[in-house]
Amino acid sequence: MPLRLLNSSAGLRNDNQTLAAPYALALLLVAAALASTLLLQTVYVGRPPLFPFFAAIAAAAWFGGKGPGYFASAVSVPLGLYFYVVARPDHDLHFRDFLLFVFFATCAFLGGALNSRHRKTEDGLRSAHRDLQAKATELQHANDALLAEMAERRRTEATLEAMRSKLGRVMRLTTMAEMAASIAHEINQPLTAIVTNGETCVRWLNAAEPNIAEAQDAAKRAVRDAERASQVVSRIRAMVRNALADREQVSLQACLDDVLALLLADLTAHQIEIRCEVPPALPTLFGDRIQLQQVFFNLLTNAIESLSETTGRQRDITISAERGRENTVVILLRDNGAGFQDCEPEQLFDSFVTTKPSGMGMGLSISRTIVETHGGTLTASRAIPHGAAFAITLPLSGEEP
């Protein structure tokens, strides 16, 4: 379709050719019409029908537009005059011949005008359609971009959330170290005074002439300082118990997912298979998300450490959760590692008791304190045939996730 191209912007590069080509085509079409009419005349008796001209005008108007349409009409009209009026075989001129000619000329111009008009409308529709399609494509692209942006945003949010929870853990550990240093100082001060007062008391008693009054004073000071030390200890206990900051609705599944994501590298490195089954419709817990994560982190880290020493069987960790009595959830963590053979399960939760060659023995003690401040319980048992099992019972807040 060369002429459609001429209407488009690509054709405007060569203006003269662009303008001349439709007129040349119009002329060519009219010529073809003339030829076919002359051809018809040889087989037709009487005046030949002139419809090839109509076809030529219509085609010229269609392909070339208004100008070439009128041009084809203008060229066809004298030819019509020739066939209707001049080239009459009988040379007997009638009024009806003029009438026919006028009719022909009118139809020729009308045909050109209507066709070019039709063409224009058609083109308008077509370009509108094209525009619409372009718009639709544009919208599609915008939509795609938006979707990509949303996915990106979700990813960023997830990363941010992961970092935030990691930061929370680091901060908590730092606070813990600071607290430990502060506790050590606060206990050490009265302890120093107690030791010094005790030794002073002994000195007064051991003197050549024992001084009972001074010895009593020193002993009283030692007692007073010991009371101060015990107050420090109770204050710390109360502090741990009342550390109820940052309570919120916590999804158990999300909580476990976060911890497992942090431990994924360790699990993979030690070829540990982990199964985690939490019922999908479990209501949320109400508590400190970071502290609860700390509990799972401690228990899972213990399991991983124990399993890293285990050989001769597939290393497994199983986490399962099910509804317990009175709107509670019972979470079971089991590994098939070495377990704890040398001590009773309850002993594990005493501070400074550890089955590990290097360890403070604080992890389980802290974990139990956290679970208890959440109104739950944490117990240990031996898994059959191998390993350790921990059961955490926590109250559910009743809100569906």
Kindly state the smallest distance separating residue 203's Cβ from another protein, in Å: 4
Angle at 249 between CA 247 and CA 253, to 5 degrees: 120
Q: Which residues pair with 380 in a beta bridge?
A: 390
Kindly state the smallest distance separating residue 218's Cβ from another protein, in Å: 5
On the 0-12 / 13-18 / 19+ scale of CB atoms within 10 A, 116 is buried
Question: Could you say whether residue 200 binds another protein (CB under 8 A)?
Answer: yes
Report the first-to-last Cα separation within the chain, whole angstroms: 64
Question: Could you say whether residue 217 binds another protein (CB under 8 A)?
Answer: yes
Question: Could you say whether residue 232 binds another protein (CB under 8 A)?
Answer: no
Among 195, 223, 261, 360, which residue interacts with another protein (rule: CB under 8 A)?
195
Kindly state the smallest distance separating residue 189's Cβ from another protein, in Å: 5
Instruction: With CA atoms as reference, report the closest residue to 296 among 378, 382, 241.
Output: 378
Kindly state the smallest distance separating residue 201's Cβ from another protein, in Å: 8
The tokens describing 205, both together, are 């008693």
Separation of alpha carbons 174 and 161, rounded Å: 20
Kindly state the smallest distance separating residue 240's Cβ from another protein, in Å: 22
Question: Could you say whether residue 235 binds another protein (CB under 8 A)?
Answer: no
3-state secondary structure of 268: helix
Mind giving me the DSSP string for 40-60?
Answer: HHHHSSSSPP-HHHHHHHHHH
Among 20, 184, 238, 264, which residue interacts with another protein (rule: CB under 8 A)?
184
Q: For another protein, give the closer residue by CB, 88 or 221.
A: 221
Q: Which stretch binds another protein (CB under 8 A): 125-133, 201-209, 286-294, 377-385?
A: 201-209
Question: Could you say whether residue 191 binds another protein (CB under 8 A)?
Answer: yes
Question: Could you say whether residue 35 binds another protein (CB under 8 A)?
Answer: no
3-state secondary structure of 310: coil
**Binding region for another protein (CB under 8 A):** 181, 184-185, 188-197, 199-200, 203-204, 207, 214, 217-218, 221, 224-225, 228
